[in-house]
Amino acid sequence: GAVVSQHPSRVICKSGTSVKIECRSLDFQATTMFWYRQFPKQSLMLMATSNEGSKATYEQGVEKDKFLINHASLTLSTLTVTSAHPEDSSFYICSAGGTTSPYEQYFGPGTRLTVT
């Protein structure tokens, strides 16, 4: 149980375009989802916390107009990287906390974004 999926697993886009990444909890309802970014050989940095039906809370230094987060249902959150630039190239990972087990986060497999 507690499976989180991400789609796509890899995406290459041109500079200036927008990319949407989906995060789904497959077998549980997630009231809260988290989005992390990981640069090569670095650890995970939290970007934002999203709660179902409300606006996301962004960490300091993360541009909310650039990284749009939507958490429209208890099983789906999306991250849209708008007007992507090469410096946005990174590994994006989502995690979800269940309604019955908020103590542990379950992580998706990640999405590798490359902006050319």
Which residues contact another protein (rule: CB under 8 A)? Answer: 6, 32, 34, 42-46, 49, 91, 93, 95, 97, 102-110, 112
Dihedral sign, Cα of residue 2, residue 34, residue 88, residue 45? negative
Cα gap 55→93, rounded to integer Å: 19
Cβ closest to another protein, residue 15 vs residue 57: 57
Smallest distance, another protein to C-beta of residue 16, A: 26
Smallest distance, another protein to C-beta of residue 55, A: 16
**22 within 8 A of 81, measured Cβ to Cβ:** no
Backbone angles phi, psi at 59, to 5 degrees: -75, 160
Cβ closest to another protein, residue 44 vs residue 68: 44
